[in-house]
């Protein structure tokens, strides 16, 4: 029986134990001989790996477990790498959210200025990871990447490492489908959806069960409840916090204005940035909710396990862990399963640029994702996507060129900003906050004059 060596880059993530449990649940489909945990923060990772080892022990004692901060040890001869890096950890996420909010601009980790800031921190570390994997891993190794902001990371990889064996994925469409299936009273796997857009910036155009489009039924439900069941306990634990309940309710608000398609939940930040800011707590953001919730719970569970030897049932198999393993099994077994992932457009959506990194249905084969043809999209959606795409592409140019002017252009184009004046104020504050992480952004002009 063929077995695989798999490395988790970002082994200190709070999501690691849940991903490990999902891997254990799928050992028959993806037999592992070795599981490696890699993180630049060895102290944090060591605590998380205690929980991961406890999960593994419930299933098997035949997997060799490696914990390291050395990239060669982590990636030597591996078959797959799961990437889930968070550059700057939650302390920087908190600033990504609170600095924009101090200017009455959306404060969110992947959308608006927070996402742009996070992207400026993540592109070069992601490229470094790719280089490590290409140097040490098997030539056939695939990186399955969850690192956010996924759309910007995907564009950076496309530009800087165009031949890298990376599949960029996001669990937000899967989480949205989970809510749809709960509303319709079917299993998520029974849904076949059509979808187009960028990551965190797209629309579901059909939601089929047994070949019948149930989107009209979902539309009627959303008009009453948003994209939530009346019993919210059916929602995956990762998306059951109060901020997520609010987010899924806001899908109703979007569809009251634009009812044709079901939007990705993150579109709330672009359609209604003023409303989002008005209803945000500037002192206690999603970062604080996570630190006081999932983060605190994980390390308390580890401490309790060390003291008692009893592992509390804290590590559920949610869509985050399920999806990354599903994609990897399809890669390993050449199953050609259909999932929503990010790929270079190349005509999949003819009225978007060929080099756009779009999120569309793809068949996942051993050679990578094969996108389904989507066809031309309505002009309204095309125009919105192209504006967001331009913001992300110019941001990547700002990173690679070290250009302050291009960073400002990227911020100004983002729909979450009311003006270039506000965009500049937020950018300047974020530059100061990110001195340890961002590449230097040099100014070509000073007060309109060439330097």
188 is in an annotated binding site: no
Which residue among the candidates 266, 269, 270, 404 is catalytic per the annotation?
Answer: 266
Which residue among the candidates 39, 79, 96, 171 is catalytic per the annotation?
Answer: 171
Q: Is 268 exposed, middle or buried (0-12, 13-18, 19+ CB in 10 A)?
A: buried
Angle at 384 between CA 381 and CA 389, to 5 degrees: 120
Q: Is 316 exposed, middle or buried (0-12, 13-18, 19+ CB in 10 A)?
A: middle
111 is in an annotated binding site: no
CA atoms within 13 A on the CB side of 412: 11
Active site residue 445: no
Q: At what angle do helices 112-136 and 89-102 cross, to 10 degrees?
A: 150
**DSSP string for residues in 129-140:** HHHHHHHHS-TT
Instruction: Take residue 397 and report the two structure tokens written for it.
Output: 């140019």
Question: What is the rounded distance in angstroms from the CA atom of residue 371 to the CA atom of residue 188?
Answer: 21
Instruction: Take residue 290 and report the two structure tokens written for it.
Output: 């996570």
Active site residue 171: yes
Task: Compute the Cα dihedral for 427, 432, 436, 440 and give only its sign.
Answer: positive
Which residues does 100 contact at the CB level (< 8 Å), separation at least 6? 106, 107, 112, 113, 114, 416, 426
148 is in an annotated binding site: yes
- Residue 327, H or E segment: helix 319-333
Question: What is the rounded distance in angstroms from the CA atom of residue 142 to the CA atom of residue 172?
Answer: 21
With beta carbons less than 8 A apart as the criterion, state whether 106 and 277 touch: yes
351 is in an annotated binding site: no
Question: What is the rounded distance in angstroms from the CA atom of residue 202 to the CA atom of residue 204?
Answer: 7
Binding residues for Mn(2+) are 170, 200
- Name the binding residues for substrate: 93, 148, 286
Binding site feature residues: 93, 148, 170, 200, 286
**Would you name the residues annotated as active-site residues?**
171, 266
């Amino acid at each position: 029986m063929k077995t695989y060596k798999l490395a988790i880059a970002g082994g200190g993530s709070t999501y690691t134990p849940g991903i490990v449990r999902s891997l254990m649940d799928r050992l028959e489909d993806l037999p592992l001989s070795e599981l490696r945990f890699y993180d630049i923060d060895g102290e944090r990772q060591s605590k998380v790996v205690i929980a991961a080892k406890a999960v593994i022990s419930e299933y098997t004692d035949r997997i060799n477990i490696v914990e390291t901060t050395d990239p060669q040890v982590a990636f030597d001869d591996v078959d797959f790498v799961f990437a889930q890096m968070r550059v700057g950890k939650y302390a920087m996420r908190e600033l990504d959210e609170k600095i924009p909010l101090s200017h009455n601009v959306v404060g969110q980790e992947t959308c608006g200025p927070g996402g742009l800031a996070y992207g400026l921190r993540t592109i070069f570390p992601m490229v470094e990871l790719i280089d490590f994997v290409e140097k040490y891993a098997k030539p056939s190794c695939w990186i399955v990447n969850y690192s956010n902001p996924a759309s910007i990371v995907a564009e950076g990889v496309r530009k800087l490492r165009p031949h890298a064996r990376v599949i960029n994925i996001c669990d937000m469409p899967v989480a949205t489908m989970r809510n749809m299936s709960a509303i319709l009273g079917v299993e998520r796997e029974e849904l076949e959806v059509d979808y187009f857009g960028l990551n965190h910036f797209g629309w579901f155009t059909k939601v089929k069960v047994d070949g019948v489009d149930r989107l009209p039924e979902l539309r009627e439900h959303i008009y009453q409840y948003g994209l939530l069941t009346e019993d919210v306990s059916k929602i995956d634990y990762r998306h059951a916090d109060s901020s997520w309940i609010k987010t899924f309710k806001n899908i109703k608000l979007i569809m009251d204005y634009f009812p044709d398609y079901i939007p990705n939940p993150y579109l709330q930040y672009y359609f209604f940035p003023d409303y989002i800011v008005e209803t945000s707590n500037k002192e206690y953001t999603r970062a604080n909710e996570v630190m006081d919730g999932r983060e605190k719970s994980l390390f308390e569970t580890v401490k309790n396990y060390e003291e008692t030897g009893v592992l509390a049932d804290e590590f559920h198999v949610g869509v985050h862990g399920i999806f990354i393993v599903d994609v990897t099994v399809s890669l390993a077994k050449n199953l050609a399963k259909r999932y929503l992932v990010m790929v270079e457009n190349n005509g999949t959506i003819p009225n978007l640029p060929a080099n756009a990194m779009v999120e569309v249905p793809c068949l996942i084969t051993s050679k990578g994702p094969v996108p389904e043809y989507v066809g031309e999209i309505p002009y309204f959606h095309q125009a919105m996507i192209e504006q967001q795409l331009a913001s992300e592409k110019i941001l990547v140019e700002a990173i690679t060129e070290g250009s302050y002017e291009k960073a400002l252009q990227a911020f100004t184009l983002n729909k979450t900003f009311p003006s270039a004046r506000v965009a500049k104020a937020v950018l300047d504050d974020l530059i100061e906050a990110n001195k340890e992480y961002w590449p230097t952004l040099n100014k070509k002009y000073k007060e309109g004059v060439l330097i």
